Amino acid sequence: MAAGLWETGIVLLLVFGRLTCAEPVRVSLSPVCPTESVADSISGYRDSHCTVNEGDGSLDFVGVTEGDEVSLQKALDMVHKNTHEYVAVLFYASWCAFSRTCRPTFSILSSLYPSIPHFAIEESAVRPSILSKYGVHGFPTLFLLNSTMRVRYHGSRTLGSFIAFYGDVTGRASPEKLLLNGICLLLILWTRTMILDIQVI
């Protein structure tokens, strides 16, 4: 019995390690997502999202829309028209060290929560009056918006803290978090079983 548990534990460890340490795989979505034009590439402006499910009339965003006041208005329109349950908006500054570490984490969040459109607004792309209007006095500033509320994130800038914030506001955990919780639970149960087996011997 103990050998079987050890084998199960090793398999779980290998699977967990494979999931967390695997190299990212690029999947081409060329029929759905247009490639970035040379002009956009040179100018540095990216509207780095693409839509899927266009044929059925629904509109889903994949990735983060990097933008300006127009993109911010798109996000607000989504909220006011109730086309999406939630919208995430990150205000950041390229010169800010905290923003430089937060911005990639925001991209990860867009992958963990693909049903939530994510907009990243760089401070130099909007007027200072817009930042004041939304109460942005420091960087990075993250909001989750829906038709009835605007919730500002206050906390550490770790992925786990952001995931907890998303879960608290939206009421749903990411599928990846549920998977990790399941793996952790299995490892805890396996460890307890091993301890009981050792005590019996």
pLDDT given at position 82: 85
Contact between 109 and 62 under an 8 Å Cβ cutoff? The reply is no
Q: In the predicted model, is pLDDT for residue 176 greater than 80?
A: no
Tell which wins on pLDDT, 59 or 191: 191
Q: Is 1 inside any structural domain?
A: no
> First CA to last CA across the chain, in angstroms?
12
Cis peptide before 128 (omega within 30 of 0): no
What's the pLDDT band for 178 if we cut at 50, 70, 90? low
pLDDT given at position 112: 87
Q: Is 32 inside any structural domain?
A: no
Q: Is 189 inside any structural domain?
A: no
Q: Is 166 inside any structural domain?
A: yes
Q: Is 69 inside any structural domain?
A: yes
Q: Is 82 inside any structural domain?
A: yes
Q: How many domains does the chain have?
A: 1
Strand partners of residue 90: 120, 142
- Would you mind telling me the total number of residues written for the chain in this entry? 201
Q: In the predicted model, is pLDDT for residue 162 greater than 80?
A: yes
Average pLDDT over residues 20-25: 39
pLDDT given at position 27: 35
For the domain that residue 145 is a member of, what is the CATH number? 3.40.30.10
Q: Is 38 inside any structural domain?
A: no
Q: In the predicted model, is pLDDT for residue 130 greater than 60?
A: yes
Contact between 163 and 109 under an 8 Å Cβ cutoff? The reply is yes
Q: Is 191 inside any structural domain?
A: no
Supply the range of the domain harboring residue 119: 45-174
